[in-house]
Amino acid sequence: MNKMILLIALPLLAAFLIPVVAKFSATVSRLLGPVVLAFVLVFVALQWNVVGRDSFAIFLGGFLPPVGIVFYVDHFSLMFSAIIAAMLLVVWPWGQYTAIRQQSLYMLLAASSFGLVLSSDLFNLYVFYELLAVATYGLVANQPHKAAPAAALRYLFVSCAGSVMLLIGIGIIYTITGTLNIAHLATMIGKLHGLAGLSAFILIVVGAGVKAEMFPVNSWVPEVYGTSSKSLSALLAGLISKLAVVLILRVLLMLFQVDVVLDLLLVVGILGVLSGEMVAWRAKDVTRMLSFSSIAQLGLVFVALSLSGTIGLWLAVGLMLHHLLVKGGLFLLADSMPGSFNSLKGLARRSPILGAIFLIFIFSLLGIPPFPGFWIKLMLVINLAQQDDVLYQIAIGVVLFATVIEASYLFKLVRIMYQKNDENIIKPPQTSTSGMNLLYAKFFALIVVVSMPFVSPISDRLKDMSRQSVNAENYIETIMSQPKLGGQS
């Protein structure tokens, strides 16, 4: 299905067209982006059944692997494409009439994100990852907050350093094997499982880890989220961090299921969970608290990834989707909250619905039954317990301890929000987006609530999806044994 290329081509085209069209008609240029994204959503929905149980590959430019560009389409990549489109629609800067540049950047971000989830070749992954990074630099630097440029600059430094690591890692792999096609690499896994190959993987993980909020290369997180608009924070915390994880996932699942790697991921995950929750505990304003809580949740994803194979991917995807909903929702909700804790007094009394949504999100985040977060946490802990290594038992302890810390700061906030406060009511900042974002937050909360009875079917789907994605033989076969050009298997 060559049509799949539209996923990248259309947003990219839109990104360049928006400024041009804006010269002629502001309305058309404003609608261009959402229309493209809506189209992508519909397109993905139509493709869903086409993919079925068999994934397929697309070869661009008529070059057969291992040369040429290959896209690999399975339910996993389709699901992420749909999520990217939906999430971008949610954070789309509708209200800001002047933000043509921002809209362009969002479309660029869309194009690179779709590319990232579809690529099955290390070099392409790198290219799209860089494109994504450039788009985020632009967005972060464009924020009205006066500290935004400084935050963006520091983010740029560390992110570039990460990209260099990533590139070195990819270079090493190329030197060892002479190819960058992941399927091709998967056929010569033996070559990679040596000192050089694993070193390359370490470099890739750390490099991509910068955006995946991995401990300890995530110090940009609080600063950037603190200066960005809540919509952008929702996007960065909810989605972009997950895309970096997807990059790591592709490489990890196909090439590096090695004990030492898994152990390293586990250690990084544990430290991420612990440090994130503990610093969030000291936070004095909402954004900072959410940022560090986000770091902790990404740590949890790394802990899940350290479980090998289907289970690991299944749990990681479950955690990511849950975090996307909950943390995305919380950031959107935070748009209607004044920043510091002191000014939050009595907020939930004045706006009960806001309080209720906040409670739904944090209950799910903490993993309290019957919210979906509970089942994910339960499955994670059960699967951690089934490993023999003592490191995994430590992980259980840390995850549970971190939950207690998490509960203590979240409920501290609940207490403040429900406190009686008649004097000095501080009005929340009425940004142009807060009304819309509150609506989206309600919608996210609704999804969390509605998904409660459907935990089993969702989890089964995710498991099937993970099985499909983890299946290396299928992956190699789909990509490497393509007799025809541009065809579908």
The DSSP-derived string for 202-254 is HHHHHHHHTTTT-TTS-THHHHHHHHS-HHHHHHIIIIIHHHHHHHHHHHHHH
Q: How far is the CB of 460 from other proteins (least distance, A)?
A: 9
Lookup: tokens for 61? 């430019």
DSSP state of 308: -
Is it true that the peptide bond before 216 is cis, omega within 30 degrees of 0?
yes
From 26, 42, 382, 425, residue interacting with other proteins (rule: CB under 8 A): 382
DSSP state of 427: P
From 153, 412, 425, 489, residue interacting with other proteins (rule: CB under 8 A): 412
Q: Is 41 in the site for other proteins (CB under 8 A)?
A: no
Binding letters toward other proteins, positions 274-303, x by CB under 8 A: xx--xx-xx---------x-----------
Q: Report the site for other proteins in 217-236 (rule: CB under 8 A).
A: 217-220, 222
Helix (H), strand (E) at residue 60? strand 56-60
The nearer residue to other proteins, 8 or 379, going by C-beta atoms, is 379
Q: Is 375 in the site for other proteins (CB under 8 A)?
A: yes
CA dihedral sign of residues 460, 79, 41, 297: positive
The nearer residue to other proteins, 274 or 324, going by C-beta atoms, is 274
3-state class (DSSP) for residue 119 = strand
Lookup: tokens for 303? 């802990």
From 203, 232, 360, 476, residue interacting with other proteins (rule: CB under 8 A): 203
Q: How far is the CB of 17 from other proteins (least distance, A)?
A: 37
Q: How far is the CB of 158 from other proteins (least distance, A)?
A: 4
Alpha carbon dihedral 40, 41, 47, 49, in 10-degree steps, equals 180
For tokens 């943390």, name the residue: 327
- # residues contacting other proteins (CB under 8 A): 70
From 2, 25, 408, 481, residue interacting with other proteins (rule: CB under 8 A): 408
Nearest to 251 by CA among 159, 178, 185, 171: 185
Q: How far is the CB of 191 from other proteins (least distance, A)?
A: 5
Q: Is 190 in the site for other proteins (CB under 8 A)?
A: yes
- The interface region with other proteins, picked from 86-94, 203-211, 442-450, 478-486 by CB under 8 A, is 203-211
Is it true that the peptide bond before 370 is cis, omega within 30 degrees of 0?
yes
- The interface region with other proteins, picked from 57-65, 139-147, 371-379, 423-431 by CB under 8 A, is 371-379
Distance CA 11, CA 28 (A): 15
For tokens 């995710």, name the residue: 462
Interhelix angle 100-118/241-255, nearest 10 degrees: 10
Q: Report the site for other proteins in 97-156 (rule: CB under 8 A).
A: 154
Q: How far is the CB of 12 from other proteins (least distance, A)?
A: 30
CB atoms within 10 A of CB 76: 23
From 369, 429, 435, 486, residue interacting with other proteins (rule: CB under 8 A): 369
Q: How far is the CB of 354 from other proteins (least distance, A)?
A: 16
In single-letter form, the type of residue at position 389 comes to: D
Q: How far is the CB of 293 from other proteins (least distance, A)?
A: 13
Lookup: tokens for 213? 């909020």
Lookup: tokens for 140? 């972060």
Footprint of other proteins (CB under 8 A): 154, 157-158, 161-162, 165, 176, 190-199, 202-203, 205-206, 210, 216-220, 222, 260, 264, 274-275, 278-279, 281-282, 292, 363, 366, 368-370, 374-375, 378-379, 381-382, 384-386, 396-397, 400-401, 403-405, 407-408, 411-412, 414-415, 418-420, 455-456, 459
